[in-house]
């Protein structure tokens, strides 16, 4: 018999835990970046971000495939009662993750100097040397994260993510501040600053900034150490809940070579997909900026006429950078919603893998529908709300700073992304569900096609003067329409299920539009009748109006979803205390 004491979370319960940790991590990230940037300055932040540009692709290659593979295989073998295989998967994954971690760390260290030459500054070298070992610690963390996720217990992953972010915050700020204090003390004492004699404070700061950035990256590395220690200790104390009796009655495990082969063969397409995505983002950024430079050079007078107010006071040489900077303001908000819905895909892997292994078609259909519907339930109101409130949101964040003049350019971009954010939000959960049923090549194909189309669209559309940066938005929308269409078709084809399109897509979209109308109307009314007043340079009126609009939009959305019965009973049951909530909703006729 299965161990009834073993903790196992439902699909949505696990996603809820991961979503909460993701939100906390995002908040910690904001808290981290503001004081860090103030301490290490724009130049130091440039060194920090430059190190990240090399770190992220190598991190992605090292981490992309194996955690997903471990989660999928563990959940399958647990469903089949192959507990010895589960233990063997964990054992073998330790070796593979350690190898990947060592290789990833060495790769960063080997590429440090060539990369520094390519970006034409050796000042980035200290940051790269210090951030390199974090690849190894992240891989060790993933031994446990993938394993616990496969056991359908997302709590260890969630807690370790928060601890990692807190470690990054605390150690990053402490280390950066310590480096700056040390450098200043040397300068004030008339001594050399990091090996160089300086005579002015400006020269001293020039020497301090690379090492202050390295202090900040030390926070990244030490944060991964904190998360790793937590998971290692948890693994020693709590274990995995598999009993000796379960192991004794389980069938003999397959050969180690067979498990290693499955892990590697499954991981390769996932790694390639992540690699394509990473390379595409780099090409995307380069393409947009190059085409903007072209359109500005060929049509400077037209661009100045088109954006006469926004470009007032901007030098001709800076017009391209100004337009790209305005576009970048909206991109920060674009990534928020998909980072939340991504947790649904992570939680879906073990649930759907287990159902796939047991050939439980009903559970597969329920899980697929729940993931798609809940993704839409989150993405539609948030995205449409972001679309109709883009201008006031940007005004609150950037209205009192030097970026205020670019808000009128960024707002339409943000609105377009908001209205179509559900396309981006659906992409990763569908990718994860295809991975859960072993169809790892489909996301690679869809992403490759979408990426090629996106680059071509950027090349053509951004170079049209009237469209300019808005062409990048159109390219993104076209890209994700292609990716989602291919992935959804393949998902339904290979699982041989039919989903309720009205319940999954139409109802959330309809209620999302009502939410947007409620938010827009309430903001307009509030903005008209509340008098203007400010505090410390910030418009309190704008903040109050935005808060009211969000609240009204949320209330309208919830009420409309209840009246159209847009919340499914299966979704509610999978939540904490779901049975009780479902009974109450059914009593008043809000679910069937």
pLDDT in tens, 263-272: 888 788 877 7
Q: What is the mean pLDDT of the chain?
A: 86
pLDDT at 1: 39
Query: Percentage of the chain surpassing pLDDT 90?
Result: 38
Q: Is the separation of the CB atoms in 352 and 23 below 8 Å?
A: no
* Residue found under tokens 């130049």: 43
Neighbour count for residue 157 (Cβ, 10 Å): 27
Residue 539, phi then psi, degrees to nearest 5: -75, 110
Report the alpha-carbon distance of residue 64 to residue 327 in Å, rounded.
28
- Helix (H), strand (E) counts: the chain: 23, 2
The pLDDT tens digits of the residues spanning 432-485 come to 899 889 898 999 899 999 989 998 999 999 999 999 989 999 999 999 999 999
The pLDDT tens digits of the residues spanning 285-325 come to 778 878 888 898 999 999 999 998 888 877 887 888 788 87
Report the alpha-carbon distance of residue 325 to residue 415 in Å, rounded.
16
Read off the DSSP letter of residue 296. Answer: H
* Residue found under tokens 């895909």: 345
Report the alpha-carbon distance of residue 564 to residue 585 in Å, rounded.
13
Q: How far is CA 320 from the centre of its chain?
A: 28
Q: Which of 196-205, 431-440, 488-497 has the highest mean predicted lDDT (pLDDT)? A: 488-497
Q: How far is CA 363 from the centre of its chain?
A: 28
Indicate whether 149 pLDDT > 70.
Answer: yes
Report the alpha-carbon distance of residue 209 to residue 491 in Å, rounded.
50
The pLDDT tens digits of the residues spanning 395-408 come to 887 776 667 788 88
pLDDT at 380: 95
Task: Output b/e per residue, 301-330; b: 16+ Cβ within 10 A.
Answer: eebbeebeebbeebeeeebbebbbebbbbb
Would residue 414 count as lying in a domain? no
Taking residues 26-34, what's their average pLDDT? 78
Reference 487, options 421, 422, 426, 425; nearest CA is 426
pLDDT band for position 282 (cuts 50, 70, 90): low
What is the helix (H) or strand (E) element at residue 227, kind and residue range?
helix 201-238
Least confident span in 58-67, 115-124, 159-168: 58-67
CB contact set of 456 (below 8 Å; sequence gap of 6+): none
The pLDDT tens digits of the residues spanning 61-90 come to 666 677 888 888 899 889 889 999 999 999
Q: Is the separation of the CB atoms in 442 and 487 below 8 Å?
A: yes
pLDDT at 475: 92
The pLDDT tens digits of the residues spanning 531-554 come to 877 665 567 888 899 999 999 999
Indicate whether 592 pLDDT > 60.
Answer: no
CB contact set of 13 (below 8 Å; sequence gap of 6+): 574, 575, 576
pLDDT at 47: 76
Reference 33, options 204, 165, 126; nearest CA is 165
pLDDT at 11: 73
Give the residue from 254, 284, 310 where a domain finishes.
254
Would residue 570 count as lying in a domain? yes
Which string of DSSP letters, residue by residue, matches 432-466?
HHHHHTT-THHHHHHHHHHHHHHHHHHHHHTTSTT
Q: Is the separation of the CB atoms in 50 and 131 below 8 Å?
A: no
Residue 180, phi then psi, degrees to nearest 5: -65, -45
Would residue 59 count as lying in a domain? yes
Taking residues 201-211, what's their average pLDDT? 85
* Residue found under tokens 């903001």: 523
pLDDT at 578: 66
Would residue 294 count as lying in a domain? no
Neighbour count for residue 181 (Cβ, 10 Å): 12
Neighbour count for residue 536 (Cβ, 10 Å): 6
pLDDT at 52: 75
Would residue 417 count as lying in a domain? no
Reference 172, options 142, 135, 130, 208; nearest CA is 130
Domains of the chain: total: 2
pLDDT band for position 58 (cuts 50, 70, 90): confident
Q: Is the separation of the CB atoms in 58 and 104 below 8 Å?
A: yes
Report the alpha-carbon distance of residue 108 to residue 62 in Å, rounded.
11
CB contact set of 163 (below 8 Å; sequence gap of 6+): 223, 226, 227, 230
The pLDDT tens digits of the residues spanning 249-262 come to 888 988 888 888 88
Indicate whether 488 pLDDT > 60.
Answer: yes
What is the helix (H) or strand (E) element at residue 535, kind and residue range?
strand 534-535
Q: How far is CA 122 from the centre of its chain?
A: 30
Would residue 169 count as lying in a domain? yes
Reference 136, options 110, 161, 105, 107; nearest CA is 105
Would residue 161 count as lying in a domain? yes
Report the alpha-carbon distance of residue 568 to residue 514 in Å, rounded.
19
Cα–Cα separations (whole angstroms), residue 121 to 50, 113, 198, 253, 389 = 10, 10, 19, 53, 41
More confident residue, 101 or 591: 101
Give the residue from 221, 254, 287 where a domain finishes.
254
Indicate whether 25 pLDDT > 90.
Answer: no
Q: Is the separation of the CB atoms in 245 and 220 below 8 Å?
A: no
Q: What is the dihedral of CA 45, 47, 52, 57, to 10 degrees?
A: 150
More confident residue, 68 or 164: 164
Take residue 286 and report the two structure tokens written for it.
Answer: 């380069």
Q: Is the separation of the CB atoms in 480 and 450 below 8 Å?
A: yes
pLDDT at 489: 96
Neighbour count for residue 490 (Cβ, 10 Å): 20
Report the alpha-carbon distance of residue 461 to residue 454 in Å, rounded.
10
What is the helix (H) or strand (E) element at residue 561, kind and residue range?
helix 540-563
Give the residue from 227, 254, 281 where a domain finishes.
254
Indicate whether 242 pLDDT > 60.
Answer: yes
pLDDT at 2: 46
Cα–Cα separations (whole angstroms), residue 479 to 291, 344, 454, 493, 532 = 18, 22, 5, 21, 42
Q: Could you list the residue range(s) of the whole structural domain that residue 575 is in? A: 500-592
Indicate whether 49 pLDDT > 80.
Answer: no
pLDDT at 4: 47
Would residue 233 count as lying in a domain? yes
pLDDT band for position 590 (cuts 50, 70, 90): confident
Cα–Cα separations (whole angstroms), residue 252 to 94, 105, 130 = 21, 36, 44
pLDDT band for position 241 (cuts 50, 70, 90): confident
Q: Is the separation of the CB atoms in 40 and 212 below 8 Å?
A: yes
Read off the DSSP letter of residue 539. Answer: E
pLDDT at 7: 59
pLDDT at 278: 67
């Amino acid at each position: 018999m299965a161990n009834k004491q073993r903790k196992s979370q439902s699909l949505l319960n696990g996603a809820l835990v991961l979503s909460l940790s993701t939100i906390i991590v995002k908040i910690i990230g904001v808290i981290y970046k503001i004081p860090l940037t103030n301490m290490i300055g724009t130049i130091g932040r440039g060194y920090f971000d430059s190190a990240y540009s090399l770190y992220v692709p190598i991190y992605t290659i090292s981490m992309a495939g194996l955690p997903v593979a471990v989660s999928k295989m563990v959940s399958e073998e647990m469903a089949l009662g192959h507990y010895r295989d589960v233990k063997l998967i964990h054992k073998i994954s330790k070796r593979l993750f350690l190898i990947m971690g060592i290789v990833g760390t060495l790769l960063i260290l080997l590429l440090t100097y060539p990369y520094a030459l390519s970006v034409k500054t050796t000042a980035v070298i200290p940051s790269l040397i210090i951030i390199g070992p974090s690849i190894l610690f992240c891989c060790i963390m993933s031994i446990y994260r993938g394993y616990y996720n496969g056991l359908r217990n997302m709590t260890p992953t969630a807690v370790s993510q928060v601890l990692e972010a807190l470690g990054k915050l605390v150690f990053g700020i402490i280390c950066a501040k310590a480096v700056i204090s040390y450098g200043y003390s040397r300068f004030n004492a008339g001594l050399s600053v990091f090996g160089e004699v300086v005579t002015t404070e400006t020269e001293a700061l020039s020497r301090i900034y690379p090492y202050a950035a390295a202090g900040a990256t030390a926070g990244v590395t030490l944060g991964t150490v904190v998360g790793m220690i937590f998971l290692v200790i948890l693994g020693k104390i709590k274990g995995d809940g598999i009993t000796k009796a379960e192991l004794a009655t389980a069938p003999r495990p397959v050969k180690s070579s067979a498990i290693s082969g499955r892990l590697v063969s499954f991981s390769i397409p996932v790694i390639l997909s992540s690699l394509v995505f990473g390379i595409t983002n780099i090409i995307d950024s380069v393409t947009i900026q190059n085409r903007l430079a072209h359109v500005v050079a060929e049509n400077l007078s037209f661009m100045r006429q088109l954006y006469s107010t926004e470009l007032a006071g901007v030098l001709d040489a800076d017009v391209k950078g100004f337009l790209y900077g305005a576009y970048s303001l909206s991109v920060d908000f674009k990534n928020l919603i998909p980072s939340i819905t991504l947790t649904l895909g992570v939680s879906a892997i073990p649930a759907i893998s287990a159902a796939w292994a047991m050939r439980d078609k009903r559970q597969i259909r329920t899980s697929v529908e729940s993931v798609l519907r809940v993704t839409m339930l989150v993405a539609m109101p948030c995205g449409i709300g972001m679309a109709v409130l883009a201008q006031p949101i940007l005004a609150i964040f950037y209205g009192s700073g030097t970026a205020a003049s670019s808000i009128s350019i960024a707002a339409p971009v943000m609105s377009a992304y908001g209205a179509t954010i559900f396309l981006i939000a659906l992409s990763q959960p569908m990718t994860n569900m295809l991975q859960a049923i072993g169809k790892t090549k489909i996301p690679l194909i869809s992403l490759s096609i979408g990426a090629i189309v996106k680059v071509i669209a950027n090349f053509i559309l951004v170079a049209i003067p009237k469209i300019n940066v808005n062409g990048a938005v159109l390219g993104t929308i076209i890209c994700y329409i292609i990716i989602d269409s291919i992935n959804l078709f393949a998902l339904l084809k290979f699982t041989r299920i039919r989903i309720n399109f009205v319940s999954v897509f139409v109802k959330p979209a309809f209620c999302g539009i009502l939410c947007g109308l409620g938010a827009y109307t309430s903001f307009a009314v509030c903005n008209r009748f509340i008098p203007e007043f400010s505090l410390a340079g910030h418009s309190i009126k704008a903040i109050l109006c935005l808060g009211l609009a969000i609240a009204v939009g949320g209330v309208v959305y919830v009420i409309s979803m209840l009246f159209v019965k847009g919340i499914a009973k299966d979704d509610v049951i999978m939540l904490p205390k779901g049975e009780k909530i479902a009974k109450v909703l059914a009593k008043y006729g809000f679910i069937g």
